[in-house]
Chain A
């Protein structure tokens, strides 16, 4: 094979079997196209493919890359009519020990089958699948199960029967791993077969696997129930089969294994949508809502938490059905004493999503008492879950009595990240609250945060103050903010004076021009601070303010101040001032 080859191709061929270095073999496999191009289609088919087939005794990484590379070999072997010549090495890779190699091989075979002609599939692919399905080891048969949905659409009628028979055979083996293989291949198979087959054979298959003795088999097969329903939804004649399949899905919501129920909860929205299409808007939801309520109250916390994440969508689907909505809200209410913290966090946060679905009256009478309870939860994360989404409850008036104390409590939480999370939503909440409530009760909080012992909090607070000024305007700034900032100017700690400068930097973007000079005066004063860090930050702040200053102010005040700082004895101040000066001019 080495005659009349380009040098690089010849080297690569040698390197494919390099005895010691994995990296070298890896590189050769990655560049196997170079060889194919060098030797042409005929020799690629007759020599390179068999040669690569012999190489399948390598590390998993190399084999995975090889399997991936082979999928793109169609042009190298002479086009689609010769695609089948690539199957032999892929077949060997599809039964490799490592699952990642097998999966890649199956993926590559799938992409080949997609472009192959039906006759070629019958002639080469179907026999391969049947052979694998009769294989000794489990990995032969699980790969066969995965390939059935791939080969099926292009196979002849007789071969289709044969493939289904093999599939059924794998799904009834004693070894659980085989039945699990069938369970996971059943989902793509539903999409591959004709409605008549889905309605009969596959519903039966699903029924059998949904009653399997192994939890993992049942958990794997759960989504098939809805998939069959969806596949048959448009075919009135198979309505009964679709409903039977969905009934089995529903049944699995009461499974003894929580992992199975978990998957039911996860697929619940799809189920609900399918039922509504099949039996109509009115009746479709009748006992369907009950299933969700039972999942939300499941004995396993994981199931309750995953169900909670779908509250808003489920609520939206049920919005025409006040009775069911009421049940839903009631089920949410039952979770206020849930013993598991993360379940209460999930329910509390997602319950807010229901607010936009409920009528105002229902919201106030039924949802509000529940949210009020969550706002009193002993776990800060639960309270935070409600507070951080509370703007979705606008108008907030009815929540003032519960929301304000909750914000106060969180504002003082010992975990600084909780405090930080509250500050981040604080300005938008205040904007949504009645102004009087903000003015009378909450107005002091951002200034407390401005003096927090944690630097990150002070900086978020600085931004928050600027957002509030953005909402409430210049007059509010003059009345409330200015005097408090004035006090910070002579704060004994340099870190707090720096916070003030940060705040000024953010404020510069929102205050009117006449206030700008007032802020500028503070920054200029701090340019003469005794602590170099403050002078440095003051220089940076003047630069930030630059865009919002009038030219005359810039030239008469800011520039001279910076020019003085350029002469500073501290190297960092000098450096910062020089940069600021360059930026301003």
Chain B
């Protein structure tokens, strides 16, 4: 059954509401079995925000290789803004259930009831299914997603960034993550924070959630945990990725031509067993590979 779903999902065909419910139950079971900090072995490919851009995710797999041949770590933000949040999320969840060892899905700030109600996922579910049940099933899976990952005990991976409330992995392990992200505190910071050049310590973020943190914070965190790199997403990068703080932190962004109009490139980060970091940059999938819906009018929340 799962393989049949995967075949349909890879062609951007939606599952039925009852099938989504079943998929979400299974995915939640698998995800709940993982720790707040999920440990993974290299080689693995780290992927940033996707935001419902289904055909660009397909392009990403063409560029980086299909599952299960390649291993993937997604840094969250699967839904909202793009035209295909439902299809994208269901595809990734089905891949997670089918290949739990090959793919890891971390939670992003858009994997939340509150945010996805405002930025498109809720409306999309309502439009495509005629009810909000699918959205509700999906948001329950969000609550099971791990918050951070560590690759080969070297690279710390998280959607947003660091928090003044956490210095060690143990602090993160102690979070009770099975909930809607609270408005402040450690869990919220992991999903919302941003690094900031020429800043010392932490500062409240202009986003209204999380913090901005400087190089000293990053160095101290890496030293305390014996890591060498922080890989995070959360901010659009014109060239798909960008290093900061003497290459101790990298932002990876995997939604090319974000919102179908930003003209940015996207990137994936391939980490191998020997600690090598290899970036592959790619552009949005060309028009002829996209479904007919891509040409629909731009929804209001883009404006």
Using a CB–CB distance below 8 Å, which chain A residues touch chain B? 416-417, 453-456, 492-495, 498, 530-533, 536-537, 570-572
Contact = CB atoms under 8 A, between A and B. Distances in A.
Nearest to A493: B272
The 9 A-B residue pairs whose C-beta atoms are closest, nearest first, are: A455-B65, A456-B62, A494-B43, A453-B280, A572-B68, A454-B63, A498-B69, A533-B69, A571-B101
Query: By CB atoms of chain B within 10 A, which of A416, A530, A533, A572 has the most?
Result: A533
Contact of A493 (B43, B61, B71, B282): B43
A453 B100 CA distance: 25
B177 to A, nearest CB: 25
Contacts of B276: 492
A531 B270 CA distance: 14
Given A456-B62, A493-B272, A495-B43, 20 more contacts: A416-B282, A453-B280, A454-B280, A454-B282, A455-B61, A455-B62, A455-B65, A495-B65, A495-B70, A498-B69, A531-B43, A531-B273, A532-B101, A533-B43, A533-B69, A536-B68, A536-B69, A537-B69, A570-B101, A572-B102
Interface string B271-292: 0111010101010001000000
B272 A492 contact: yes
Nearest to B71: A533
Contacts of B100: 571
A416 B64 CA distance: 13
B164 to A, nearest CB: 38
Contacts of A455: 61-66, 70
B99 interface: yes
Contacts of B273: 530-531
Nearest to B100: A571
Contacts of A571: 100-101
A572 B70 contact: no
A543 to B, nearest CB: 15
A533 B40 CA distance: 14
Contacts of A533: 43, 68-71, 102
Contacts of B282: 416, 454
Nearest to B102: A572
A493 B280 CA distance: 14
A412 to B, nearest CB: 16
A455 B71 CA distance: 13
Contacts of A530: 273
Given A454-B280, A531-B43, A533-B68, A572 B101 contact: yes
A533 B64 CA distance: 14
B240 to A, nearest CB: 13
Nearest to A415: B283
Contacts of B280: 453-454
A494 B272 contact: yes
A568 to B, nearest CB: 11
10 contacts: A417-B286, A455-B61, A492-B274, A492-B276, A495-B65, A498-B69, A533-B69, A536-B69, A572-B68, A572-B99
Contacts of A536: 68-69
B101 A454 contact: no
Contacts of B272: 492-494
A570 to B, nearest CB: 6
A497 to B, nearest CB: 10
B62 A454 contact: yes
Nearest to B43: A494
Interface in B50-66: 61-66
A536 B71 CA distance: 12
B290 to A, nearest CB: 14
A536 B66 CA distance: 13
A492 B274 CA distance: 9
Contacts of A495: 43, 65, 69-70, 270
B95 to A, nearest CB: 12
A523 to B, nearest CB: 15
Contacts of B68: 533, 536, 572
Nearest to B66: A455
A536 B62 CA distance: 19
B65 A498 contact: yes
Contacts of A498: 65, 69
Contacts of A537: 69
A416 B286 CA distance: 12
Contacts of B43: 493-495, 531, 533
A322 B286 CA distance: 42
A89 B63 CA distance: 58
A501 to B, nearest CB: 9
Interface in B9-68: 43, 61-66, 68
A531 B42 CA distance: 9
A570 B100 CA distance: 11
A454 B274 CA distance: 21
A531 B65 CA distance: 15
Contacts of A492: 272, 274, 276
Contacts of A493: 43, 270, 272, 278
Nearest to B65: A455
A416 B62 CA distance: 11
A532 B274 CA distance: 16
B282 to A, nearest CB: 8
A495 B286 CA distance: 25
Contacts of A456: 62-63
Nearest to B274: A492
Nearest to B276: A492
Interface in B228-284: 270, 272-274, 276, 278, 280, 282
Nearest to A572: B68
Query: By CB atoms of chain B within 10 A, which of A416, A454, A455 has the most?
Result: A455
Nearest to B61: A455
Nearest to A530: B273
A493 B69 CA distance: 12
A454 B64 CA distance: 6
A493 B44 CA distance: 11
Contacts of B64: 455
Contacts of B66: 455
A337 B182 CA distance: 62
Nearest to A532: B101
A571 B100 CA distance: 9
Contacts of A454: 62-63, 280, 282
Interface string B202-231: 000000000000000000000000000000
Contacts of A417: 286
Contacts of B62: 454-456
B286 to A, nearest CB: 7
A498 B101 CA distance: 18
